[in-house]
Structure 1
Amino acid sequence: MASIAVYSVKGGVGKTTLSVNLAWCASAISRRKTLLWDLDASNGSGFLLGIDPRKKRSADSMFDEGADPEKLIQATAYGGLDLLPADESIRSLDRQLDKLGKKKRLAKLAEALGKNYDRIIFDCPPVLNELSAQVMRAADLVIVPLPPSPLSARAFEVVVEEVRGIGKGHPPILPVLSMLDLRRSLHKAAREANPTWPAIPLASAVEQCASLRQPVGAFAPRSPAARAIAQLWTAIERKLASK
């Protein structure tokens, strides 16, 4: 099992859309049993997959001692792809983790879930707190979506500082240019400055994910956006294999 965190300290960068599409690639292209773990209280991943969280049990309950997170997992419409949904209870999880005093609680839960999954993808909240620190300790790779802008560059520096703060053995970081529009001079300059970074174009197909509530590869498999996301997933698998 390998775990991948899609993370940014800045909202509105396409983090959740990328998480959903990478999870779809993991299951549909690589044929790996995949769990998408939504840790953002907005439940954006669930929405994009057409799934609403069950109300019987809150998302933070799985972190309690003796809890069984598998009871919260929901199947999606896509074979090999399951969702561990979020809800508003995630907002108080930081205090709960701090009270537990266990720095690797999330990593241990992921390890247990990994018995049934080949890939776990974390859709992380755009915050710096104990939850994000626990995700960094659990992840084998951190994906950072970056729309071309000075603010995004600064946000990337913050993420790098946080990941490296874990100490030796921290996961590698893969920056991704998101919402790239080469007709814009700022975007073109960002691409020229980082020619080796994977890039996801600004495309209507990506925007349609929210209205259709489907991954791009499911409804527009031949689109430039679907090809770019698939290429990114290939790069991710290669990076995991080289560890």
Structure 2
Amino acid sequence: MKTVAIYSSKGGVGKTATAVNLAYAASVSGQRTLLCDMDSQGAASYYFRIKAKKKFNSDKLLDGDIARNIRGTDFSGLDLLPAHFSFRNLDLALNELSKKKRRQALAKLFAPFAEEYDILFLDCPPNLTLLSENIIEAADILVCPVVPTTLSLIALEQLLKLFKKLNADRNKIIAFFSMVERRKSMHLATMDKYSKYPLFLKTFIPYLAEIEKMGILRQPVGATARQSPAARQYEKLWQEVLQRGEPV
């Protein structure tokens, strides 16, 4: 099972849209896919019209009570572990574990699903915490959406510093430009400057109405408009992520 985390310490960069649409693209290609909504806001869960069971919470998650809380989506081959509001306390719960266990907790929790799924996606909250360290440890690939603006680039720099601090494999990180508006000269100039770095993928995701409408239609863009520019870009993005992520 390949674990792909969609992560940035900055909010509003398109993490959840990326996680939902890449998970959908993976499932359509025939890969058994599990999307885990790690963000207490539950945006990915909302897109799939799924709520966590009332008794499911952060403590149950860390206790390994996962299998019976995984729900099937409306799409074949794509399952979801929905978020719970208590996930906002995951860092506190992780901190209560022993030092040897706390950084690898997520990796151990999902290890039993290695035979059941081909791809595990983690839709991650925007923070730089103990949970972030767990995500880095668990991920085979860490996909970082970057809006072509200064603050978003700073968030990427912070991620690189965290990898260095943890002595983690920087080759796990893959960045791509998200929410790109070609009419903005700053976006174009930023992409021109940074797209030359090997860290960045060639594929970018434009700022498109189809993606914004996900909040209304509550489905991946490929499910409602398979031939739309947005759907095609997410499919291209997933193929490039796969290509760059080999071998794991």
1:238 correspondence with 2:243:
yes
Computed over aligned residues only, the root mean square deviation of the Cα atoms, in angstroms, reads 1.4
Which residues of 2 match residues 63-212 of structure 1 at below 5 A?
63-64=62-63, 67-101=64-98, 102=101, 103-169=103-169, 172-195=172-195, 197=201, 198-212=203-217
Cα distance in 1 for residues equivalent to 2:176 and 2:225: 21
Deviation per CA, 1:39-80, whole angstroms, max 9, x where unpaired?
Answer: 10001100011212221322441212xx33101101100000
Q: Under a length normalisation based on structure 2, what TM-score does the superposition of the two structures give?
A: 0.92
For 1:226, which of 223, 226, 231 is the aligned residue?
231
| One-letter amino acid matched to 2:131 | L
> What letter corresponds to residue 221 of structure 1 in structure 2?
R
2:96 counterpart letter in structure 1: K
Question: Is 1:62 matched up with 2:61?
Answer: yes
Amino acid aligned to 1:68: D
Q: Give the aligned residue type for 2:232.
A: R
Distance in 1 (CA, whole Å) between partners of 2:115 and 2:237 is 25
Alpha-carbon distance in 1 for matches of 2:77, 2:164? 33
Question: Identity of aligned pairs, percent?
Answer: 38
Match of 2:136, SS state, is helix
Deviations 1:182-212 (A, max 9, x none): 1110111122123463210010011111110
Counterparts of 1:15 and 1:169 in 2: how far apart (Å)? Answer: 21
The answer for the alignment partner of 1:48 in structure 2 is 47
Q: Distance in 1 between matches of 2:93 and 2:50?
A: 26
Partner SS state of residue 54, structure 2: coil
Gaps of 5+ in 2: none
Distance 1:11 1:241, change over 3 A: same
Quote the Cα distance in structure 1 between the aligned partners of 2:221 and 2:163.
Answer: 30
The one-letter code sitting in structure 2 at the alignment partner of 1:58 is N
Change (3 A) 1:164 1:69: same
Q: Which runs of 5+ in 1 are unaligned?
A: none
TM-score when scaled to structure 1? 0.94
Q: Would the aligned equivalents of 2:58 and 2:90 in 1 still touch at CA under 8 Å?
A: no
Deviations 1:9-64 (A, max 9, x none): 11111111111111101101x21101101110001100011212221322441212
